[in-house]
Amino acid sequence: MAERAWIQKVTRKAMSQAKGTVRMLRLQAAEMVNGRGTTLSVAGDAYEWMAVSLLDHGQIPDAMVPTFEPIGMPALTLTRRDWDFLFDQLRSTTAVLDYLFRAAGEPPIALGDEPVRYYELAAADAAAPPVDIDTELVGPGGRRFSTPLLPQVPAGAGQTNAHLVIRHVLEDVATGMLRDAISESDRLTVLAGLGRLPVGMREEWGQLLLDMLDDVEQAPDGHLMWRSRRQLHQEAASARRMLFVCATRFDKYVEASFGSYVMLRHHQVGERTGRPESLCGVGVMLTPNHSGNRPWDTTPVRVLGPSRFTSEQVAEFEKLWPQSGIA
């Protein structure tokens, strides 16, 4: 009985603290330092919030469901074991956050039963029919690929290291990307865009990037070779594009060409959907690094909303990047 009362007490206190913290951040932004030692200004109205009370306690009573008053945002209580399970299963902070927002909208369950709820939602995802999508939005020969948002097997269970490639790309963006020339909030925006790649697709895309890198490294000396793949995820209110390119080398010409390619494809999808204002795109180019310190260099580009291209600019870029060429 004492354990239940204590858990109830600390849960209500945690939720009250979360509500107060968000209220203060909405009144005045705060400078916060992340785990990498970089500073970010956090304004409460700039983010969507939820409260997660994490209970690290070895004696959880059976069927214990903590209760608390509504705090004006999604809220959830988990055990530390639940928390570790989600990260072991998904291996993606973005995917875990998406799950937590989803679970907060479900009926309350007993502490420690989060894996049960996870597999119930994963089974529902697996049974859901695929959404119809215009595959031509990603160019001729586009194909529909459907994967559950919540995989029933742990991410990376394919016994290969291909799923780690996307993780390494995210790490490159987090630790590099012109640290003195870009704000930390912009960096996090790019990371968030890349983090939207569904967990169930990461191993396949990781292997694809390794294969494309191998292809461009086989180019004859002095030749520039490109390989590319695009992914479009459509939602009710927006569409997200993700574009990966591998090129033989990195220089100013290649960097400018990559940027024009990302912006052109962004413009084309916006024109075709008729909703350019709702379109967000992230492009990543990998180029082989022969220094021996790392296998590749990473160059990201993010485009949001209408392209503002003139018809003359579109015509010039389409000469450089015809649909029958690089995808």
Task: Express each pLDDT in 56-97 by its tens digit.
Answer: 987 888 888 998 999 999 999 999 999 999 999 998 899 999
The yes-or-no verdict on residue 327 having pLDDT over 50 is no
Torsion of the alpha carbons at 32, 38, 44 and 47, rounded to the nearest 10 = -150
Higher pLDDT, 134 or 84: 84
Cα 148 from Cα 130, distance rounded (Å): 9
| pTM given for the model | 0.84
Cα 127 from Cα 150, distance rounded (Å): 12
Task: Express each pLDDT in 107-121 by its tens digit.
Answer: 999 999 999 999 999
The yes-or-no verdict on residue 2 having pLDDT over 90 is no
Task: Express each pLDDT in 286-321 by its tens digit.
Answer: 999 988 788 899 988 888 888 788 888 888 888 888
What does the DSSP 8-state code read for residue 131? Answer: P
Looking at residues 232-247, what average pLDDT do you find?
73
Torsion of the alpha carbons at 110, 123, 230 and 131, rounded to the nearest 10 = -110
**Dihedral (CA of 252, 254, 260, 262) sign:** negative
Q: What angle do CA 211, 142, 251 make, to 5 degrees?
A: 45
